[in-house]
Amino acid sequence: MREAIDAHFAEAVAALRAGPAGDPRRAVRAGGALTGERCLELFDAQLGSRHLDLAARELRERGAGFYTIASAGHEGNAALAAALRPTDPAMLHYRSGAFYLERARQVPGQQPLRDVLLGVVAATDEPIAGGRHKVFGHPALAVVPQTSTIASHLPRAVGTALAVDRARRLGVAGAWPADAVVLCSFGDATVNHSTAAGAINTACLCAHRRIPLPLLLVCEDNGWGISVPTPPGWVRAAYGDRPGLRWFEADGCDLAAAYDAAVAAAGWVRERRAPAFLHLRMVRFLGHAGSDAEVGYRSPAEIAADHARDPLVATARLLVEAGVASPAELLGRYEAKRREVLGVAAEVAGRPQLASAAAVTAPLARSRPGRVAAQAARSAEPAARARAFDGRLPEDQGPLTLAQALNGALADLLALHPELLVFGEDVGRKGGVYGVTRGLARRFGAARVFDTPLDEQSVLGLALGAGLSGLLPVAEIQYLAYLHNAEDQLRGEAATLQFFSQGAYANPMVVRVAGYGYQKGFGGHFHNDNSVAVLRDLPGVVVASPARPDDAAAMLRTCVAAARVDGRVCVLLEPIALYHARDLHAEGDGGWLAPYAAPERWGGAHVPLGRGRTYGEGTDLTMVTFGNGLRLCLRAARRLEDAGVGCRVLDLRWLAPLPVEDLLREAAAGGRVLVADETRRTGGVAEGVLAALVDAGFGGPMARVASEDSFVPLGDAALRVLLSQETIEQAAKELLGR
Ligand SMILES: Cc1ncc(C[n+]2csc(CCOP(=O)(O)OP(=O)(O)O)c2C)c(N)n1
Ligand SMILES: [Mg+2]
């Protein structure tokens, strides 16, 4: 079936009246900068994009294609690619076909029509996602693939823009040229999303504070979010006059106007190192996607009226009126492009798709333990360490608390890696709510250790952008409950980037999260959150849960090493209640302190990913636990041993990947397994531990104790829902049949 816009283009261009021959080196419109030659090049990208859309529909009809969201009507975004450099990182709206084709034209050796069609047919030889998704992305074009979640790329774009100039200031090699502009484009409905609003607010705040942020935000406004109209004038009303955000606008259907506006906006951002917002008025053809029956919410007359705004016809008119080409010539180009695209489509249809689960999951969790161990063993030279610690090395300070050990490890890592940044709410001058980052801002400077705005999505966005840009971010989320309001930045963005780019792009990061309960009734749910299910099911994401000071320092180093070496995304869950704990069994015994686990080079030990730690050698019972549970279990084990029961306690240390090998060995040694899980009964860690035992055919008795499926209340009531030592002891006795 021939699409209406296809027929309309032919009719409208045939009806154009040829002007006298003009000089293609001159502007197609007096007063503008777009020459006839350049206009023809961009027209070629626009034609290619349009025919890709038409071909995607044909492939879909034949059952050979799997994606039909079109760029039709948005082809003016070719002007953005023309105004930018092919080395400027681009995070693109899903209607960016013309941008992609024009950018690819600027880089030798590209086959962009083929790239896009390989994506449509989900072929394994598609260059970025390898058949995992249809995205615009290519490492040679600095186009970073985006997820389908609208707005979720804006925090990363802000972080990337910040990282461009921060890398230069720190004198470290970033991933982008020092004068790069970061492009982030999106639709009009997207500006209403809180993720977009928060990210743009953070950009404004940076500009207000004169923090360099070369970010070009482009809203491609077609007036619709699927079936919901955006009120005319709304985007301008919302963003036209924001502090620190320079506004540009143009008719995106008019290539000459869009080009001038894009050149002005890109130049402004590049020179000022400050954010700008370019509003391009577009039109949406072919509905929202192939499956969207637009006639259900718009009249046929209204839909047809849009054809008058076809940006391809508008470009043809520019060329014809400037005497650069005749209507017949342009129609010839249109049909030639159709043949070219359909030729490629025929060639790629039926290309092999991913054929096994192993093939699909291959990019998820790159893991090179030998290289990670070697990296984790490294440390700064003695003189640099002495400076980093003001001459007081942590290994000379006697036994430390968990908070002190983490503080020492962060300083060691900052001293070792000039590209490492530590940031979050209150981590700078205050040194963190619990003092974990105390003194770091003073010793390493505000460019490396700093406070962020109070917006967890922006904190994670900064990590996403910094990691992508060659920096090594260690972000802090103040409380686990507040990770939950931003977790899509971890789930949708951080965890998927390697998956959708086959590792061509990565966002190495460590996110430190203060969490878990047991704060003696203080703080209630939000400060005692024990929900970790949402982290454990993220494919490829490492979840570390150190309980003791020596493990905490060593595991933080492992996480940073895994991020740096393999691009891993690591979450370090830090038990708040143990930050300042000193004793284990009795007041003053110092049982929860430990000497600083210095880097291996100075005698410290490395904790490999997914390796647990065993306490005790008893053979009657194995307790499996982590976090605060370790302390409870060690105390319970002491009492059980007094009663003649031989216990061993396995601290899992890593909640993802679970230390299955250690688990099976210790389960066999104890014969019976009691899992003590301070998180919830539903979705808690015990579910994974017991399932791993069952999967492996462990035949001994098993039981679990966990906290209740509840939020944690204030005061002594907290003890009614949290796992307790008594509960553990009682369950152990039942399991032993006593
Ligand atoms: C967070 C999120 N919610 C809902 C969707 C489903 N969705 C996909 S596109 C879209 C409309 C986006 O409209 P707009 O930003 O104007 O872009 P356009 O498609 O018009 O170019 C919606 C609601 C989504 N992808 N992400
Ligand atoms: Mg829209």
User: For the segment 360-390, what is each residue's pLDDT rounded down to a tens digit?
Assistant: 999 999 999 999 999 999 999 999 999 999 9
Q: Give the mean pLDDT of the chain.
A: 96
Distance 190 CA to ligand 1 centre (A): 6
For the CA of 230, the closest atom of ligand 1 is 16
CA of 577 to the centre of ligand 1 (A): 42
pLDDT for residue 15: 97
| DSSP 3-state of 161 | helix
Q: Mean pLDDT lowest for which of 290-294, 468-472, 506-510?
A: 290-294
Take atom 18 of ligand 1 and give the residue whose Cα is closest: 187
Q: Which of ligand 1's atoms lies nearest the C-alpha of 488? A: 1
**How far, rounded to the nearest angstrom, does the alpha carbon of residue 691 sit from its chain's CA centroid?**
30
At residue 239, does pLDDT exceed 90? yes
**Ligand 1-lining residues (CB < 6 angstroms):** 95, 148-150, 186-190, 222, 224-226, 284, 288
Which candidate in 133, 153, 527, 606 is catalytic?
Answer: 527
Percent of the chain past pLDDT 70, that is, above it, reads 100
Rounded distance, CA 518 to CA 718, Å? 8
Question: What Rg value do the Cα atoms of the chain yield, rounded?
Answer: 29
In sequence order, the 6+-apart residues with CB closer than 8 A to the CB of 275 are 161, 203, 204, 206, 207, 213, 214, 215, 216, 217, 244, 245, 246, 269
pLDDT of residue 291: 85
In the predicted model, what is the mean pLDDT of residues 558-567? 98
pLDDT tens for each residue of 281-298: 999 999 998 888 898 999
Check if the beta carbon of residue 67 is closer than 8 Å to that of residue 95.
no
pLDDT of residue 494: 98
% of the chain surpassing 90 pLDDT: 96
**pLDDT interval class at 465 (50, 70, 90):** very high
Residue having the nearest C-alpha atom to atom 25 of ligand 1: 149
* Span 230-245, average pLDDT: 97
Both tokens of 708, joined, read 């209740």
Cβ neighbours for 342, distance < 8 A, ≥ 6 positions apart: 51, 55, 58
- Whether residue 113 is predicted with pLDDT greater than 80 in this model: the reply is yes
Band of pLDDT at residue 520, cut at 50, 70 and 90? confident
Largest CA distance in the chain: 104
- Looking at residue 599, its pLDDT comes to 81
pLDDT above 90 for 738: no
From 134-143, 245-254, 295-304, 313-322, the region with the lowest mean pLDDT? 295-304
pLDDT beyond 80 at 198: yes
Q: Are 490 and 549 in contact (CB under 8 A)?
A: no
- pLDDT of 1 above 80: no
pLDDT band, very low/low/confident/very high, at 190 (cuts 50, 70, 90): very high
Bridge-based pairing state of the strands 246-251 and 182-187:
unpaired
pLDDT of residue 255: 98
Instruction: Examine the residue annotation and report whether 527 is marked as an active-site residue of this protein.
Output: yes
Q: Whose CA is nearest to atom 13 of ligand 1?
A: 225
